[in-house]
Amino acid sequence: MTVAPEARAAVNVLVAALILTAFGSAYYHWAPTNATLIWDRIPITMVLMPLLVLVMADRVHPLFARYALWSFTALEMASAVLWGVSEAMGLGEVRPYFIVRIGTAIAVAFLLILRQPRHTGTKWLVAALVSEIVMAIFERFDHEVFRLTGGLVSGHNAKRVMVGVALAFVFWWLRSRRTLTEN
């Protein structure tokens, strides 16, 4: 995978966030409480920010991958921490967390629609976005999926698979993309 020097940090954060998500999710599912859920939510949102800045670097300017990464990552972490603190206080303010999660997907969609790419492979990003939408549907209809499959698969399990599919598309985009030449 050839990545421009400006984008290396974003790719490294993306990979680190995926690894942290595995540990955070395992910790949460080992002892599922709101206190452990934050360790699942923080790395999940950490995956989104490098993806957004990589798409911004492709669609707006390459330096977004370098300069937007840390402020965006701080924003997403703050949204998850805010939820955790508010949950501990009995308020459960989850709106900033969902705004960051949903807003990131919306921003990526608008960038794909409204801006011209610097690299080939847009189809892989579109496939990742569609996988994210399917993931959200599985997440929303967790119990219904469980019931429809006769207890074989829950929406939560299917959601995890779709996240893996979406990320595979993202990494395929990074691996296979080529710089477009200007005409």
Q: pTM score, two decimals?
A: 0.90
By the 10 Å C-beta count (0-12 exposed, 13-18 middle, 19+ buried), 60 is classed as: middle
Q: pLDDT per residue over 44-56, tens digit each?
A: 888 999 999 999 9
Matching residue, tokens 């949102």: 45
pLDDT of amino acid 44: 86
Do residue 59 and residue 134 come from a single domain? no
Q: Which helix (H) or strand (E) holds 167?
A: helix 155-176
Do residue 24 and residue 102 come from a single domain? yes
- The total number of structural domains that make up the chain: 2
Do residue 60 and residue 3 come from a single domain? yes
pLDDT of amino acid 1: 66
Q: pLDDT per residue over 9-20, tens digit each?
A: 999 999 999 999
